[in-house]
Amino acid sequence: MSLAIVYSRAQIGIDAPLVTVETHLSNGLPGLSIVGLPETAVKESKERVRCALLNSHFDFPARRIIINLAPADLPKQGGRYDLAIALGILIASDQLPGKKVRDYEFLGELALSGDLRSVRGCLPGAIACGKAGRMLVLPRANGAEAALCADTQVFTATNLLRVCAHLRAREPLPRAEPAVLSTTSDYPDLSDVKGQVQAKRALEIAAAGGHNLLFYGPPGTGKTMLASRLPGLLPPLDDDEALAVAAVHSVAGADVAGCWLRRPFQSPHHTASAVALVGGGSQPKPGEISLAHKGVLFLDELPEFQRQVLEVLREPLESGEICISRARAQVRFPADFQLIAAMNPCPCGYQGANDGRCSCTPDQLRRYRDKLSGPLLDRIDLQVPVLQLRYSELQSTHSGETTAVVSERVFQCRSLQIKRQQKTNAQLNNREVEKLCRLDRQQQQLLDRAMNKLGFSARVYHRILKVARTIADLGGEDVMKTPHLAEAITYHGLNRKG
């Protein structure tokens, strides 16, 4: 036959759209042309494929060869199509039977020797392949990652000859086996943090309801220690969430097996650019907020980040995704993360310290606080002071509750929310808040006084109700009570007037 059709997968964000590799041989001057919007690396595949076929002892047809990568308007990047192109040439030139090839999809870059090299982002391709009802063949180095998708039959090969032997039914390829995944918890324990009862309480509320959290206080009071304990309080990822997290890390070229069933914890430095935080580049890649998908994004020294960098967080905090637009494509990455931040209360860091050594002027304090915009602060549900510890608290041998004890309460609280509304309290929309957080007359008066006196926005109003709902859930209460609402109001110190 002079026409062959082989299936492969592109990579657009974390999506893996189908690419049909059509190969046609015709009479004319010998040559190979690739069409279908290929980038430079794809155009260069004709030389890799030619050498790989010859070094694998196949004939390279001395005819005019046209390779069409369909759909033609989808940009094609990288060497992931090499294997599919080589197989298309072999089938079109009758060196390989084409009967079984329609049941498979192929990913892999070819070395000049015919060996297969790994490609980035194979897990989204494996997921999409399984949904299409086909089997996947890819390099052995990608096998453990692709096998995390249990719904897809994944076969691995070391070279082109092994793939051809499999398609001829002479020597079946081995099935890919998932990597040995460790699910043991090695998170730092909450009992290591001395004192800070209010901050620990806020951390538990944030974990139970999925709320964003900001700690502010002098240096050395334990803000970073507290933040690092949050992932240990969160429930482990379920299989669907784990697969979504692994897909993002696969596209980014990060370790996939190491993050399985573990909540991601990303802590970028305050010098990070907007592109590093949200993703981008000429070939868009996921940024820190996408790598924190279904996990925690920790921003230490929050006011030290450039203001324009922080402002890009506002949209993904609401939508749970980030859209990156480029001339050729618009890419969406998931960014459903829980934000936890830490900051000093003033430029010198010692406002509110017991020794009264803060020397910041009101003007310096205002400029420092102005680095954080009101709309950004409105999106942080809990804003909690972390005060200096007394000497007696530091010397105390009494350890507080352990991570295991608190995480059990968090798990029960989240299970209640999922059963009631199929989402965490932080994800409730305004209509659901009005339904689930009904206020009696006394509570309405309390919240009205707080709104007028402290200058809370409408967004803060709804976030206070969500936090109050979580506090009630932690207490096992079906109905929100006044103490729940009063406690939620106290967690908005930085939103106040002045």
Q: State pLDDT tens for residues 189-206.
A: 898 888 788 999 999 999
| Residue ending a domain, choose from 152, 167, 182 | 167
CATH of the domain at 235: 3.40.50.300
Asked if pLDDT for residue 437 goes beyond 70, the answer is yes
158 with 211, same domain: the answer is no
> In the structure, what pLDDT confidence band is assigned to residue 184 with cuts at 50, 70 and 90?
low
Q: Is 390 exposed, middle or buried (0-12, 13-18, 19+ CB in 10 A)?
A: exposed
Judged against a pLDDT cut of 60, whether residue 317 lies above it is answered with: yes
In DSSP terms, which residues pair with 76 in a beta bridge? Answer: 38
Average pLDDT over residues 481-494: 88
The answer on pLDDT for 135 being more than 70 is yes
Cross-strand pairs, 333: 322
Evaluate if residue 100 carries a pLDDT over 50: yes
Q: Is residue 396 part of a domain?
A: no
The answer to whether position 249 is within a domain reads: yes
Q: Which structure tokens are listed for 488? A: 């939620």
Buried b / exposed e over 147-161, threshold 16 CB at 10 Å, is bbbeebbbbbbebbb
Are residues 143 and 242 both part of a single domain?
no
Whether residue 141 sits in one domain with residue 221: no
Question: pTM to 2 decimals?
Answer: 0.89
Do residues 93 and 8 share a domain? yes
The arithmetic mean of pLDDT across residues 254-262, rounded, is 75
What are the residues whose beta carbons fall under 8 Å from the beta carbon of 361, sequence distance 6 or more? none
Q: Which amino acid appears at position 224 of this protein?
A: T
Pairing of strands 382-385, 213-216: parallel
358 and 253 co-located in one domain: yes
Residue with tokens 């890819």: 138
353/243 same-domain check: yes
> Would 445 be classed as within a structural domain?
no
State whether residue 217 is helix, strand or coil.
coil
Are 144 and 235 in a shared domain? no
Same-domain status, 259 and 379: yes
Looking at per-residue confidence, does 344 or 179 come out higher?
344
- What is the spatial distance between Cα 189 and Cα 209, in angstroms, rounded to a whole number? 20
Alpha-carbon span 483 to 467, nearest angstrom: 12
Q: Report the C-alpha gap between 368 and 352 in whole angstroms.
A: 15
Q: Which two tokens stand for residue 297?
A: 């994004």
Domain of 363 in residue numbering reads as: 190-388
Residue 261 pLDDT class (50, 70, 90 cuts): confident
Residue 496 has pLDDT above 60, yes or no: no
Is residue 382, in this structure, part of any structural domain at all?
A: yes
| Two tokens, residue 432 | 């659901």
Is 364 part of a structural domain of the chain?
yes
CA count, 13 A, side-chain hemisphere, 113: 5
**Run of H or E residues at 292:** none
Distance CA 337, CA 329 (A): 24
Structure tokens that stand for 184 in this block: 């043991």
The answer on pLDDT for 53 being more than 90 is yes
Is 92:25 a contact under the CB 8 Å cutoff?
A: yes
Statement to judge: residues 105 and 160 lie in one domain: yes
Residue 180 has pLDDT above 70, yes or no: no
pLDDT for position 498: 43
The phi-psi region of residue 319 (left if phi > 0; otherwise alpha if psi is between -120 and 50; otherwise beta) is alpha
CA 93, CA 96: separation in Å to the nearest integer? 8
- The number of domains in the chain is 2
**Domain end: 167, 182, 211, which one?**
167
Same domain, 83 and 140: yes
Q: What is the pLDDT of residues 58-89, one digit of tens each?
A: 999 999 999 999 999 898 999 999 999 999 99
In a domain, 184, yes or no: no
Whether residue 81 is found in the same domain as residue 212: no
pLDDT-above-70 percentage for the chain: 94
Looking at the domain assignment, is residue 436 inside a domain?
no
Tell whether 219 and 318 lie within a shared domain.
yes
Cβ atoms of 9 and 123 within 8 Å: the answer is no
Confidence of residue 324 (pLDDT cuts 50, 70, 90): confident
* Rg (alpha carbons) of the chain, rounded to whole number: 28
Spatial separation of the C-alpha atoms in residues 244 and 15, rounded to whole Å: 11
Token pair 């030139």: residue: 93
| Mean pLDDT confidence for 485-492 | 91
Token couple for 15: 């999506």
Boundary-marking domain end, from 339, 356, 388: 388
Residue 346 is assigned to a structural domain of this protein: yes
pLDDT of residue 497 exceeding 50, the answer is no
- Return the ∠ at Cα 385 (arms to 380 and 390), rounded to 5°: 160
Q: Report H helices in 18-119.
A: 40-43, 45-55, 82-92
> Would you place residue 106 in the very low, low, confident or very high pLDDT band (cuts 50, 70, 90)?
very high
Tell me, what CATH number does 101's domain have?
3.30.230.10
Region 320-334 average pLDDT: 84
pLDDT in tens, 281-312: 777 889 999 999 999 999 999 999 999 999 99
